[in-house]
Structure 1
Amino acid sequence: MTNTKTDETTIVLRNDNGPVATVILNAPRSRNALSGAMMTALHAVLDDIAADTSIRSVILAANGPVFCAGHDLKEMNSISACDGHAALFAQCSALMMRIVTLPQPVIARVHAMATAAGCQLVASCDLAVAGKAAKFATPGVNIGLFCSTPMVALSRNIARKHAMRMLLTGDAIDADTAWQMGLVSDVATDDDLIIATDDLATRIAERSAMTVKLGKEAFYRQLEMPLSGAYDYASGVMTNNMQKHDAREGIGAFVEKRHPDWRHE
């Protein structure tokens, strides 16, 4: 699926450039809020990418003055039944897990404010490049709705006391602070944000897709294991990795001082 429309009738766009897919939230008038429709569209695009072996890295970006304002509060307030709210939050959790389980690495390109579930979206990505003007906040506490699901991704990215400060105060942090805390992996000038993100995505796409997929899955699985179990699991992953063509090719190319010829298997 490749979509290059720029009007707001398509709320999620996908533009492919070789092995890099850029997925763009395209509802600027609603501040790219994660409405049910937005989450459905984004999840569908990610499912398409997961099945597309020609894509080896993904950039998640947004159009408009806000990266993502989190859940659509008007939509949430219009739902009266508990089951309706439960379904909405379950949909959001499934979307975040789709990012984590995607075979390809996902890089958030954050040019402006990412709040609440929008901050969760950034934290759920494997990497994040923030422009200097970007800001991040989990301000649910200010409106009586604690950012409990954003807390899950946030607390797995940054230290507990940093996470709790963001969650308890709702204060926004700037890009440099987000980098110091570990919420984003890179900070670029606003003028260089697109170039910096594209360069990172392209560099990753040049690696063996098999190796990157295997490594991404292993990274998240071992995080939740006790230390000894993590080593046992990771040893098994490396043993399996070593049997693959690309591992033998990569080691051979290194020894022979040549560029590897990846088969992505």
Structure 2
Amino acid sequence: MTDPEAPLILRESTPAGITTLTLNQPERRNSLSMAMLESLSVALEELAGDDETRVVVLAAKGNVFCAGHDLREIREQLDQKAALQELFRLCSKVMQQIIQLPQPVIARAAGVATAAGCQLIASCDLAVASDSARFATPGVNIGLFCSTPMVALSRNVSRKHAMEMLLTGEMISAQRAEEMGLVNRVVSGENLDQTIHEMASTIAAKSSHTLRIGKEAFYRQLEMGLTDAYEYTSEVMVANLEAADAQEGICAFLEKRAPGWQDR
């Protein structure tokens, strides 16, 4: 049993600039209660202003990554429309905070991720899953369509795959999730942390300024038409070239040496 006084979100950072946020309520299947969402929102807000953190890993304690919203909490609020609206407003805010975070976010997908838990995985920039992980958007099974998880899911996998998950509510394997594009890689449980460490270390070695520019541009251009996307990203490229790290990187490449990033 988890200590009731223990924080809902654990934070651990390495000298290399990799910060891990861990959902820490395994006895509640790490469900996204108001308290959990509030804690996660605060942690993400703090990270957004943390220049020492270059990559974020989102993990969870226990055998369930996240079971989605706390249905017991929701049942108690069925006659409180304002409370329910606030719950989904906050959840939507957290998912957008992940996307808007300057640092890349890697989901450590071990165990089961369902409904808003699957949404959490889909909202991360990258995801590495253990071969025993499973995913579902099962709201349809209890008469509550996974409408908000659908937003992140449909922006990660094809429409047909998203609708299959949403309409059937069936659990899919990690291997199937990789085929769909919901996760980047599937590895054995014993290799999960090493794989994530290697991926995070590779990214952390890049210019954080360049990563920030690229991540923001990626998500902004996705919502644009083709012509607007090219116009916007062309402007981003020109602005990027004015940065010290881009100029250093080009010189280092041409001079066949390792770049010395200034993160600006």
TM-score bracket, normalised by the shorter chain, equals: over 0.9
Q: Which of the numbers 4, 8, 14 marks the counterpart of 1:11? A: 8
Please, what TM-score do these two structures have when normalized by structure 2? 0.97
**What residue number does 1:38 align with?**
36
CA distance in 2, matches of 1:174, 1:180: 10
Please, what TM-score do these two structures have when normalized by structure 1? 0.97
- Asked if 1:142 is matched to 2:141, the reply is yes
Residue type of the alignment partner of 1:134: A
Q: Deviations over 1:221-264 (max 9, x none)?
A: 00010000000000000000000000000011111111100000
CA distance in 2, matches of 1:179, 1:239: 35
Displacement of 1:218: 0.1
Displacement of 1:164: 0.4
**What residue number does 1:72 align with?**
70
CA distance in 2, matches of 1:40, 1:206: 31
Displacement of 1:7: 4.6
CA distance in 2, matches of 1:186, 1:103: 23
CA distance in 1, matches of 2:64, 2:222: 32
Displacement of 1:76: 0.6
What fraction of aligned residue pairs are identical, expressed as a percent? Answer: 54
Q: Please give the secondary structure, in 2, of the residue aligned with 1:203.
A: helix
Runs (4+) of structure 1 exceeding 3 A deviation are none
Displacement of 1:122: 0.2
> Across the two proteins, how many residue pairs are aligned to each other?
260
Residue type of the alignment partner of 2:44: L
Q: How does 1:20-169 map to 2 (within 5 A)?
A: 20-79=18-77, 80-169=79-168
CA-atom RMSD in angstroms: 0.9
- Asked if 1:209 is matched to 2:208, the reply is yes
Q: Please give the secondary structure, in 1, of the residue aligned with 2:56.
A: strand
CA distance in 1, matches of 2:80, 2:126: 36
Residue type of the alignment partner of 1:189: S
Q: Deviations over 1:55-81 (max 9, x none)?
A: 000000000110000000000110021
CA distance in 1, matches of 2:43, 2:3: 17
Q: Please give the secondary structure, in 2, of the residue aligned with 1:91.
A: helix
Residue type of the alignment partner of 1:50: A
Unaligned 5+ segments in structure 2 are none
